[in-house]
Structure 1
Amino acid sequence: MSNVINNKDHCRYELAVEGHLATEHYKLDGNVITFEHTDVPKELGGKGVGSKLVQGALDQVRAAGLKLIPQCPFVKAWIEKHPAYADLVAR
């Protein structure tokens, strides 16, 4: 798998795998980023691609000093399973 990249022109994080593109769409407002929707092509389902995408995106959110609103249910559930990232959630 390749690395997660931030495609700022399209407001999404991207992870290219096996010729497919998994994406995490976001909206940025100041220092708060809202993860709106995670899209993993059906061909990549069950391979942990969504988890790798979210982790890579959240690592970049942390490095940028942003706070997160996890509007996407997948991201919200992922953070619940990985409490080391809970501090990123905007209160």
Structure 2
Amino acid sequence: MELTITNNTGKRQFETEVEGHTALVAYTLFPGGIAFMHTEVPPELEGRGIAGQLAKYVLEYARENHLKVKPYCPYINAYMKRHPEYNDLL
């Protein structure tokens, strides 16, 4: 499933809508970086790889925008441990 992910700057979250439900990664900005605070996938959408796609998207966003990452969100933190190619963002 290919997702359309947008950066809702007003709410400080990357989000995607699937079947009327919103999955998201909430963030805060700091000088030179982005802190990922929380990943949320509604129960109706669990088990489809949506959180993984969101994690990859937000980390690629950080890389493309030359932002350092603070993975406060347990899911993003675990994703980065499974994908060491993102360690340069820490």
TM exceeding 0.5: yes
Task: Give the equivalent residue in structure 1 for 2:63.
Answer: 62
- Superposed CA deviations along residues 31-67 of structure 1, whole A, max 9, x for unmatched, are 1111001010001111100000111111111111100
In 2, Cα distance between equivalents of 1:36 and 1:44: 20
AA aligned opposite 1:42: P
Q: How many residues align?
A: 89
Identity of aligned residues (%): 38
1:3-22 to structure 2, matched below 5 A, reads 3-22=4-23
Is contact 1:36-1:70 (8 Å) kept? yes
In 1, Cα distance between equivalents of 2:29 and 2:74: 18
Runs of 4+ in 1 over 4 A off after TM superposition: none
Compute the displacement of 1:21 (Å): 0.9
RMSD: 1.0
In 1, Cα distance between equivalents of 2:84 and 2:56: 12
TM-score, normalised relative to structure 2: 0.92
Compute the displacement of 1:2 (Å): 2.5
In 2, Cα distance between equivalents of 1:56 and 1:84: 14
Task: Give the equivalent residue in structure 1 for 2:77.
Answer: 76
TM-score, normalised relative to structure 1: 0.91
Is contact 1:16-1:22 (8 Å) kept? yes
